Amino acid sequence: MSPPAADPLALGQKLVSILDDGLRTATYKLATLIALLDHAVEHVPADTDAEVHVDLDDLAARVIALYWRPVRDLDGHYLRQSSNPVARIPDTVRTFRTLASRVGGTEPTVDVAARSHPTDYLAAVATVKQVLVTQPLYRLQRVRGAQRHEYFLYDDTWLSDRVSARTLAHHNNRITLLPGVCTTLARLSSLMRPALQISWLDDVRRLNPFLHRDVPDLAAHHFGADRISLDRARSALLENFGPRCFYCDAPTTQHVDHVLPWSRVGLDGLSNLVLACARCNLNKSHLLPDPQFVARALDRGRDRLTDIAETIAWPSQYDRVASAAHGLYATQPAGTPLWLGHRRVDTIRTDFAWPRFTTMTESGE
């Protein structure tokens, strides 16, 4: 049985009940939920009540990206993400990461690794997808102790702990978010994402009892931006757009800033990166910037950004940044703070005039 509409409060409560389930044996459900939230932000449909398909290879790719950092050693330890000794998702990601890191000195980002080792990457996607459909996607909406099964995000009645390739193909290799769910998930994203990350870290502490309660960088180890890799993007930005702060035009060569905050959408493609002075960078922090900044970042041009990205073997993510911007701004409630520049913050008003992000219509469903 599916509910009639995606009421944000009801949906939020159900998501929280997934979080509250203290008996999780792996972090997979949390990662899957974050991946679904991210997908939702990037695919908010023009008709807010529309169904939205989620391609399962895309979802697996998002989950791989989410485990890309956690599977690195922390102080010489490969952290457990599951109580099962064989943890197929993190093990697969770790194996692929190790393989792709052999060439060259610096650790690649997941997009760079996917491009340099396409066959191995596709194999990893296939493995992770298989685990997703038989475990977290199948179990996510089955609340312990519930009288009967009621799905509220997507129809999961065809999933089980054994899903054949034929069944997957029969369902077009996708799940479908119920009417209105995509928009609601996008609206809940900025609330739910941090809550899911906190639960994830709690699980990791529980699964790795040797970790002292306040390991300083456990959060950064899991969810931080990759500062070292970003150096490559920094020199490219410097060379092509000059040693100026994107926001205030002050001379700088210092910081690479994520225009759409990393903590909200996790996009580190060149289209989402700019040079910023320390003042602007620190002051902006996790705030959503004035959408004009995003429009201006995209106005640097899809072709130009893609060309520059190519020269440093870096993803551009132009369309994803445009779609995520659309999804983020379109679903923020009035009153959400907007960063307009150093020490200037306004809030979103109901009559806010949104700029058109370049590919809004092309990349919408």
- Among 50, 99, 238, 248, indicate the residue that binds Zn ion (CB under 5 A): 248
Residue number, 243 or 333, with CB nearest to Zn ion: 243
Residue range at the interface with Zn ion (CB under 5 A); choices 172-180, 264-272, 274-282, 320-328:
274-282
Q: How far is the CB of 293 from Zn ion (least distance, A)?
A: 11
Cα(118)–Cα(128) distance, integer angstroms: 15
Instruction: Determine contact, residues 267/317, Cβ cutoff 8 Å.
Output: yes
Residue number, 213 or 343, with CB nearest to Zn ion: 343
Chain centre distance of CA 7: 23
Q: Which of 349, 315, 309 is nearest to 332 (CA)?
A: 349
Q: Is 277 in the site for Zn ion (CB under 5 A)?
A: yes
Q: How many residues bind Zn ion (CB under 5 A)?
A: 6
Q: How far is the CB of 246 from Zn ion (least distance, A)?
A: 8
* DSSP H or E run through 88: helix 88-101
Residue number, 251 or 301, with CB nearest to Zn ion: 251
Q: Is 274 in the site for Zn ion (CB under 5 A)?
A: no
Cα(102)–Cα(95) distance, integer angstroms: 11
Q: Is 247 in the site for Zn ion (CB under 5 A)?
A: yes
Residue number, 63 or 277, with CB nearest to Zn ion: 277
Q: Is 30 in the site for Zn ion (CB under 5 A)?
A: no
Q: Which of 134, 129, 4, 112 is nearest to 54 (CA)?
A: 129
240: exposed, middle or buried (Cβ count in 10 Å: 0-12, 13-18, 19+):
middle
Cα(28)–Cα(84) distance, integer angstroms: 12
Q: Is 15 in the site for Zn ion (CB under 5 A)?
A: no
| Beta bridge partner(s), residue 176 | 53
Residue number, 168 or 250, with CB nearest to Zn ion: 250
Cα(354)–Cα(327) distance, integer angstroms: 12
Q: At 359, is the secondary structure helix, strand, or coil?
A: coil
Residue range at the interface with Zn ion (CB under 5 A); choices 64-72, 230-238, 239-247, 291-299:
239-247
Q: Which of 59, 127, 117, 116 is nearest to 93 (CA)?
A: 127
Q: How far is the CB of 341 from Zn ion (least distance, A)?
A: 8
Residue number, 93 or 259, with CB nearest to Zn ion: 259
Q: Is 237 in the site for Zn ion (CB under 5 A)?
A: no
Q: Is 133 in the site for Zn ion (CB under 5 A)?
A: no
Q: How far is the CB of 284 from Zn ion (least distance, A)?
A: 9
Residue range at the interface with Zn ion (CB under 5 A); choices 134-142, 144-152, 237-245, 353-361:
237-245
Q: Is 245 in the site for Zn ion (CB under 5 A)?
A: yes
Residue number, 89 or 230, with CB nearest to Zn ion: 230
Instruction: Determine contact, residues 339/289, Cβ cutoff 8 Å.
Output: yes
Instruction: Determine contact, residues 208/77, Cβ cutoff 8 Å.
Output: yes
Cα(199)–Cα(104) distance, integer angstroms: 35
Q: Which residues contact 75 (CB under 8 A, 6 or more apart)?
A: none
Taking CB under 5 A as the rule, which mask of x and - marks residues 84-113 in contact with Zn ion? ------------------------------
Residue number, 19 or 277, with CB nearest to Zn ion: 277
Q: Is 280 in the site for Zn ion (CB under 5 A)?
A: yes
Residues that bind Zn ion (CB under 5 A): 245, 247-248, 250, 277, 280
